[in-house]
Structure 1
Amino acid sequence: MTGALPVPGLAPAFDVAVRLGRLEDHGITRAGHRRVVPIVGGRVSGLFAAQILPGGADWQLVRPDGAVEIDTRYTARTPAGEYVYLRTFGVRSGRPEVLQALLRGDPVDPSEYYFRIGVQLETSAPTLVELEHSIFVAAAVRDADQVRYTAYRVT
């Protein structure tokens, strides 16, 4: 084996703003404390532009320590009518009072909590298929009625 291992970097790729519906608290299930947050719209800009379509959701699990496991799936459509399926997975954590403030929709400085996600893309669009060949990560922000993030391509 020759040469040093490459050190990954981060390159800004696209911005996402996901509009959210009303949280549905499913209570304690066999998987844990389940919450579902409907995705009702939004936008993507950057390496590609698209409108986020209603119908997706964030299927959250609230851990006993209060941290929230994020599991979103939603679809975006480009101006050319091409579809992009987005899936994110990650964690949002912080002090209990900060997490409660976010749950109420109160404004909270993003430095007060940890919200990191991995982003996977899937598409049949020939002009966008290269996006499937990369790993993306993001630091997200939770506002009262939306989640925002900039996805970075891991180089």
Structure 2
Amino acid sequence: MASDSRVKAVGEIRTAHLFDMIVDLNPRLSMGSGPFGQRILFGAAGGSFEGPRLRGEVLPGGGDWALFRPDGAMALDVRLTLRTHDAALVHMTYGGRWITPPDLRSDMADPVKRYQIDPARYYFRTTPLFETGAEQYAWLNDIVCVGSGYLVEGGIAYKVSRVV
């Protein structure tokens, strides 16, 4: 490939820990197989989050309108409401991908084994964005984040980092 003079050297992408989050889930609701795969709602029943600059609870009522694609991958479409320890409300959205290698799929379907699998063996990444009117958390409106997810009993956990 020929070098393009418009390409500039920029700093490497770095991240800083924002918070860890546990989302407790309601029983899943299958919407059946559609033209793009099988759509399932994993409704949020609650949860918590905690990090250096904010902490609080995940409110019930949000969820992941996940799409299980024909190739076995899962596409995430999540909307959650967070309430901070000082009562501010934050709207959190994220997409992402959960790619489970074929040799792990039977263990992931097992209700006991799924929690024993090392999350490094599958790819579960998200791209959180936030929206709030709370002045003390207005900085959340202007950041982009990345997250790594993994299974926990009763739900899903994430380590969320902001891109600096």
TM-score, reference length from structure 2: 0.86
Q: Which has the larger radius of gyration?
A: 2
Please provide the CA RMSD for this pair: 1.7
Q: What's 2:13 paired with?
A: 8
1:52 partner amino acid: V
Q: Could you report, residue by residue, the CA deviation over 1:59-108 in whole angstroms, capped at 9, with x for unpaired residues?
A: 01111110100111010112322101111210101223523433443322
- Structure 2 CA distance for partners of 1:145 and 1:58, relative to 1, 3 Å: same
AA matched with 2:40: R
Q: 1:96 aligns with which of 99, 102, 108?
A: 102
Distance 1:103 1:144 in 2: 13
Q: Which segment drifts farther, 73-82 or 33-42?
A: 73-82
Cα contact 1:102–1:142 (8 A) shared by 2: no
Specify every segment of 5 or more residues in structure 1 that has no aligned partner in the other structure, as ranges.
none
2:145 is equivalent to residue 136 of structure 1 = yes
Q: Which residue of structure 2 aligns with residue 146 of structure 1? A: 155
**Match for 2:48 among 23, 43, 48?**
43
Runs of 5+ consecutive residues of structure 2 not aligned to the other structure = 1-5
2:151 and 2:21 map into 1 onto residues whose CA distance is: 12
Distance 1:103 1:57, change over 3 A: farther
Structure 1 residue ranges (4+ consecutive) displaced by more than 4 angstroms after TM superposition: none
The alignment covers a number of residue pairs equal to 154
Between the two proteins, what is the percent identity of the paired residues?
Answer: 30
Q: TM-score with structure 1 length normalisation?
A: 0.91
**Cα separation, 1, equivalents of 2:135 and 2:29:** 37
C-alpha separation in 1, matches of 2:108 and 2:153: 7
